[in-house]
Amino acid sequence: MASTDYAVVADGLVKRYGERRVVDGVDLTVPKGMIYGVLGPNGAGKTTTLRMTLGIIEPDEGARTLLDGAHPRDVGDRVGYLPEERGLYPSMKAREAVAFMGALRGLDWQTGRARAAEMLEAAGLGHAIDEKIRKLSKGMAQLVQLLGAVVHRPDLLVLDEPFSGLDPVNQERLEALILAERDRGATILFSTHVMQHAQRLCDRLAVIAGGQRRFEGTVDEARALLPQQVHYVPSHGDAQLATMLPPTARREAEGWRFALPQEGIEGLLRRLIDAGYGIKGLSIERPGLHDAFVRIVGQAVPEAKA
């Protein structure tokens, strides 16, 4: 891909605080038009990476460009950002708060107010249009702030832990909003440690742990790092059954779970049937992103091919 195909190109970002390299050589290339997740445990360096990418703080080493090779400072009006620390002026009304954030990114006030009313309505916050921020719940205020980050219709939207603090209904609203922004043509870069959102939303993702990138690829490539899981429920069980299963088999509320043996499942099933245990239930499932994440942050793994 040419550099114009990327919304973010970051090479070897390093940030030191004292003796610690809290970000230690992270590369981040985000193709345009994608939803891209930055995943990692608490303290992994996600926020610091995003802040360097956006030019809010300067990297000690490495370089980054946004949107067709520009320095982050030169494309501020084409970028939307929801920081990890939330905050709006408590005495502003929701509609004005959204328009105000748009104005900070170059959107004229009247257009901002008109769009704010439409967007609040569409996000299920029509009742809050003329409500002061201080009267809104924390989750509602967060959605208002998010609308403020997109009201100027940015080409790149960067969201730091956007799902934290939202109830399930508002999490769904946020997922819908992120998908609508991608459909509009925006690129979305967001950080999270909630795997279910990442699994549903991300076209690609990077996993950062200990300040380093441990994985880059698609959700499917991450999930393919682990073997498929067999869930087997016998018709009849006894103490001897466990000795026939792979040593890593785990007892569950109903039946057993184990990694699909390399040689396949047929031989094992035949032996279980011959021994009289039968098959009441059998399914073979791909592991979820959560399990892949645990595996990735627990140990370094090779990168999936682009």
User: Of 42, 240, 248, 262, which one interacts with ligand ATP (CB under 6 A)?
Assistant: 42
User: Of 11, 14, 16, 22, which one interacts with ligand ATP (CB under 6 A)?
Assistant: 22
User: Of 7, 9, 34, 44, which one interacts with ligand ATP (CB under 6 A)?
Assistant: 44
User: Of 24, 29, 46, 79, which one interacts with ligand ATP (CB under 6 A)?
Assistant: 46
Min CB(26)–ligand ATP separation in Å: 10
Confirm or reject binding of residue 17 to ligand ATP (CB under 6 A): yes
Confirm or reject binding of residue 213 to ligand ATP (CB under 6 A): no
Q: For the chain, give the DSSP string.
A: --GGGEEEEEEEEEEEETTEEEEEEEEEEEETT-EEEEE--TTSSHHHHHHHHTTSS--SEEEEEETTTB-GGGGGGGEEEE-SS----TTSBHHHHHHHHHHHTT--HHHHHHHHHHHHHHTT-GGGTTSBGGGS-HHHHHHHHHHHHHTT--SEEEEESTTTT--HHHHHHHHHHHHHHHHHT-EEEEEES-HHHHHHH-SEEEEEETTEEEEEE-HHHHHTTS--EEEEE-SS--TTHHHHS-TT-EE-SSSEEEEPPTT-SHHHHHHHHHTT---SEEEEEPPPHHHHHHHHHHS--PPPP-
Confirm or reject binding of residue 145 to ligand ATP (CB under 6 A): no
Confirm or reject binding of residue 109 to ligand ATP (CB under 6 A): no
Of the pair 13, 98, the CB lying nearest ligand ATP is at 13
Confirm or reject binding of residue 48 to ligand ATP (CB under 6 A): yes
Binding mask 57-86 for ligand ATP (x = CB under 6 A): ---------------------------x--
Min CB(18)–ligand ATP separation in Å: 7
Of the pair 96, 216, the CB lying nearest ligand ATP is at 216
Of the pair 105, 193, the CB lying nearest ligand ATP is at 193
Interface with ligand ATP (CB under 6 A): 17, 22, 40, 42-48, 84, 193
